[in-house]
Amino acid sequence: MGSSQKNAMFLIESRLADAARGNAEAYYDLGVAYSTGSGGVEYDLVQAHKFFNLAALGGSRRGQMCRAEISDEMSRDEIADAQRQARAWLNDSAAATSYRRYAA
The pLDDT tens digits of the residues spanning 75-93 come to: 999 999 999 999 999 998 7
Alpha helices in 1-104 (DSSP H): 3-20, 24-36, 45-57, 61-71, 76-103
| Domain coordinates in residue numbering, the chain | 3-103
Please give the Cα distance from 88 to 86 (Å, whole number): 5
The overall average pLDDT reported for the chain is 88
User: With bands split at pLDDT 50, 70 and 90, how would you rate the model's confidence at 40?
Assistant: confident
Contact 83, 97 (CB under 8 A): no
| Residue 100 predicted with pLDDT over 70 | no
pLDDT value at residue 101: 41
